[in-house]
Structure formats: C-alpha cells, structure tokens
Amino acid sequence: MKEERLLELEGRVQLLEDKDSIRELAVRCGNYIDRRDPVGMRSVFTDDVRFYSRNGSLDLNGVDETVDFLTTQLNKVSKRSLHVQHGHIVELDPGDPDLATGTQFGHSEGVAHDPLVGVKLAAVRYEDIYRRVEEGWKIAERCVSFFYQVEASNYLQDVASDTPVQGPASLPADF
C-alpha cells in the first residue's frame, strides 16, 4: 500500500512540475520577445512551431519565420515592448505525457520609434499547444486573439468601439 501511495505522489509531483515548467516557459517567451532575444526565443519554440492570430492578420510557420518576425519585424514598429502575463490555465494530456494545452491571458505595450505614433496597448489571449522535447517543454503552436489593440492616446474611444482591434483594417474583438 505504501508503495502504491508513493507512486501516486510521484505522479502528482511530476504533473505539478510539468505545469510549472510550462507556465515559466510562457513567461520566458514574453521576456525574450521584449528583449528581441533570438537565442532565447529559439529555446521556447519547437522547430515546427505555428504562431498565428485568430483574426488572420498573422500566420507564421517554423521557428525561423517566427523568430525573424518577433525580432526584425517588431523592431520596425516598436523600440521596446512589455508583455505582462496574467492567468494561465494548463491542461496536461492524460493520454500523452509529452503534450499539453494552455490558455494564457495578458497585456502588452509597445512604444513606437516615432513619438507621434506613441504607445500601443493590447489585451491578449494565447491558446497554446505545448510539446515536451529532449530539451524540455516548448511551444508548438500559439494562437493569439485580441480583446483590444489600440493606441494609448485613443484608448477610451477605441476600446469602447465596435472595432477595438486597430491596425491597417480595424476589426472587432476576437476573444
């Protein structure tokens, strides 16, 4: 009986460690994006990662394309950013110990190079698939959706509008 209980406890500890590793992975991802750290980003994504947006404005495939976008392309639109993670729900796959899914909520801020453009604010939700590989847990798929994505100077007006996802084409919230 003691041996059975010990095995059960070991399994439960492993589940907690896996969930903690995945939550830390998601925080590290935001930190690497803010620092435009390509080496760090490669450490959090699988080689075959898909990173896309629910509204269709973004669809990246593979670690090279994803890292290039999150470094080079983001540098073109902002001189610095801040990703702040809030709640994170992690579900481990009961049929496969090397797969998990997660939903993470957060906010991001981006400061434009041009002071006339100002600061962009966004409320986001990430829906992820995680895969354990030799190096540990990594993000295999990330779908980002926006509750809003607006310029700080227009925050009140744009968040209350029917199209709070501002960009080349303003869109409704896709939460």
Structure tokens at 117: 């453009």
Q: Where are the domains positioned within the chain?
A: 2-159
Q: Where are the beta strands (DSSP E) in 39-111?
A: 45-53, 59-61, 80-92, 99-111
For residues 88 and 27, give the distance between their C-alpha atoms in angstroms, rounded to a whole number. Answer: 10
Ordered per-residue pLDDT tens for the chain, 175 residues = 688 888 888 888 999 999 999 999 999 999 999 999 999 999 999 999 999 999 888 999 999 999 999 998 888 878 899 999 999 999 999 999 999 999 999 999 999 888 777 899 999 999 999 999 999 999 999 999 999 989 888 888 888 888 888 777 677 777 6
Map residue 42 onto helix, strand or coil: helix
The residues with which 89 forms a beta bridge, in sequence order, are: 103
Domain 2-159 classification at class level: alpha beta
